[in-house]
């Protein structure tokens, strides 16, 4: 179950270990944003729970992993870390915000993003080294960059209440809405495709302000989704654009539907053809 949240370190590597005081770095937008790595604790399964904290000036916001119509998606580079094999992200449910008439998805004031780290060698010290590019916005958007490092004592416990509070805010599972099945169909549209999804539940479901579709690969971009609800069924449609070479292949098991209201979300992973 945990492995499904983990990203190979070869693609995004990580860092950790031994300071009780977290490491802090000023970004290129240092007047309005500060990024901190928070040490956490070792779990019984040998994985290490930590967090990324972004503090923002009043009125400023940063973005969720799928930022909306005009946001800046965060990019993580853990490749300089020591003794780190995999990193998983546990995103808290975001807010839906309008900036100059444009809808964006993210967080105001502060983001605490729990991360789960798998060491290459269990029980050996680790060092997290993160280069992160992300966006911060008020009436204007500013690209931010942080380069931070933190060594952690894997036997110590830090920030448990803060990180657990953020973990409690992550998306609810599909079962919370009585999800029964998801089907999706691809239709050619010129050089691109349209993905039409049907989500079925065992009860009437509430309306949601926003539905986000993620394809599971950076090579296939999904547009903002159109959706409608009729009783226990939701219809979702997005345009897809393919940035790879050769024929496009969509792994339906990796397609993710996130149903959003302010500060609340439900995540449905996978669909059948």
User: What would the DSSP string read from start to end of 14-45?
Assistant: ---BB-SSPEEEE-TTTTTEEEEEEEEEE-TT
The Cα angle at residue 14 between residues 10 and 18, in degrees rounded to 5:
150
Backbone conformation region of residue 17, classed left if phi is above 0, alpha if psi is from -120 to 50, else beta: left
Q: For the domain with range 3-167, which CATH number is right: 3.90.550.10, 3.40.50.1100, 2.60.40.1250, 2.60.120.260?
A: 2.60.40.1250
Closest of 194, 188, 185 to residue 238, by C-alpha: 194
Which residue is it, tokens 């040998």? Answer: 46
Here the tokens at position 100 are 């100059």
- If one counts every other C-beta atom within 10 angstroms of the C-beta of residue 3, the result is 8
pLDDT of the residue at 24: 42
Q: For the domain with range 172-269, which CATH number is right: 1.10.10, 2.60.40, 3.30.450, 3.40.50?
A: 2.60.40
For residue 54, give the 3-state DSSP assignment: strand
Give pLDDT tens digits along the chain (273 positions): 333 334 433 333 333 333 333 444 443 477 899 999 999 999 999 999 999 999 999 999 999 999 987 788 999 999 999 999 999 999 999 999 876 677 889 999 999 999 999 999 988 889 999 999 999 988 788 899 999 999 988 889 999 999 999 999 999 999 999 999 999 999 998 888 999 999 999 999 998 999 999 999 999 999 999 999 999 999 999 999 999 998 899 999 999 999 999 889 999 999 998
Strands 86-89 and 48-56: unpaired
Phi, psi of 79 (to 5 degrees): -65, -15
pLDDT of the residue at 18: 31
Going by the DSSP 8-state scheme, the letter that residue 91 receives in this structure is: P
Give CA separation, 55 vs 6, 8, 52, 113, in Å.
25, 27, 10, 11
Numbered ranges of CATH 2.60.40.1250 in the chain? 3-167
Query: Please, which residues bridge with residue 34 across strands?
Result: 26, 55
């Amino acid at each position: 179950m945990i492995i499904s949240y983990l990203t190979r370190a070869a693609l995004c590597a990580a860092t950790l270990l031994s300071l009780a005081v977290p490491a802090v770095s000023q970004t290129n937008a240092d007047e309005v944003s500060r990024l901190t790595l928070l040490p956490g604790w070792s779990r019984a399964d040998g994985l290490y729970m930590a967090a990324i904290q972004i503090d923002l000036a009043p009125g400023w916001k940063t973005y969720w992993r799928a930022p909306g119509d005009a946001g800046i998606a965060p990019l993580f580079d853990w490749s300089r870390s020591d003794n780190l094999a995999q990193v998983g992200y546990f995103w808290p449910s975001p807010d839906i915000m309008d900036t100059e008439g444009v809808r964006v998805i993210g967080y105001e004031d502060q983001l605490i993003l729990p991360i789960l780290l798998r060491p290459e060698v269990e029980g050996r010290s680790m060092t997290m080294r993160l280069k992160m590019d992300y966006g911060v916005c008020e009436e204007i958007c500013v690209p931010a960059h942080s380069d931070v490092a933190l060594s952690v004592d894997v036997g110590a416990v830090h920030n448990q209440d803060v990180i657990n509070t953020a973990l409690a805010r992550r998306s609810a599972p599909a079962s919370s809405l009585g999800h029964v099945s998801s089907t999706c169909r691809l239709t050619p549209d010129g050089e691109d495709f349209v993905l039409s999804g049907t989500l079925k539940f065992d009860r009437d479901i509430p309306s949601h302000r926003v539905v986000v579709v993620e394809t599971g690969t950076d090579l296939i971009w999904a547009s903002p989704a159109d959706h409608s609800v009729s009783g226990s069924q939701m219809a979702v449609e997005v345009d897809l654009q393919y940035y790879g070479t050769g024929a496009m292949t969509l792994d339906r098991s990796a397609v993710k539907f996130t149903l959003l209201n302010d500060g609340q979300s439900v995540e449905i992973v996978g669909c059948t053809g």
